[in-house]
Amino acid sequence: MGAFPGMRCWTTDVCVPVSRLPQLVYETKRDLEETSLISTIVGHVGDGNFHAFLLFKDQDEQELAKVSDAVHRLVKRSLALDGTCTGEHGVGIGKKEFLVEELGEGTVELMKSIKKTIDPLDLMNPGKLYPDDRKKSNTH
């Protein structure tokens, strides 16, 4: 990053009902200030979506952990405000662990069934949407 050499950026987004956006922004700004990380929030307030950009030192596992924890708190905060873990960029690897909490086990299982029907070989975005199965099969 030109302005911050040796730094990497974790970008994330969440979305809440517009009426809950001021609370989410206020609480997130306060939380990010307490982390002492370099960060900013940008958004499109008309749809309740905002993005957080959090910088961390490249190859610094402790700082990466601080960023990861801050992102997880942001997601939990948005879900508590009747929002979603992502506003427009999809669930992906970084947020798939929140899918069951947001949508419920039944909805996620339905989504998995639909994906298996249209993508039986799991060629489209494998491993990038659904949380890892909690129940491991004991079959050999």
Q: Is residue 121 part of a domain?
A: yes
72-107 in b/e form (b: 16+ CB < 10 A) is: bebbebbbebebbbbbeeebeebbbebbbebbeeee
140, part of any domain? no
Q: Domain for residue 129, yes or no?
A: yes
Confidence of residue 87 (pLDDT cuts 50, 70, 90): confident
CA-closest candidate to residue 14, choices 91, 107, 108, 68: 91
Pair (79, 97) in one structural domain = no
pLDDT of 131: 72
Question: So what's the pLDDT on residue 133?
Answer: 65
Over residues 7-31, the pLDDT tens digits come to 999 999 999 999 999 999 999 999 9
Same domain membership, residue 108 and residue 78: no
Q: What is the domain range of residue 70? A: 7-89
Mean pLDDT of the chain: 86
pLDDT for res 1: 52
Per-residue pLDDT tens over the stretch 99-109: 888 889 999 89
CATH code where residue 14 lies: 3.30.70.2740
For residue 139, what pLDDT is reported?
40
Q: How confident is the model at residue 113 (pLDDT cuts 50, 70, 90)?
A: very high
Whole-prediction pTM: 0.79
- Pair (56, 105) in one structural domain: no
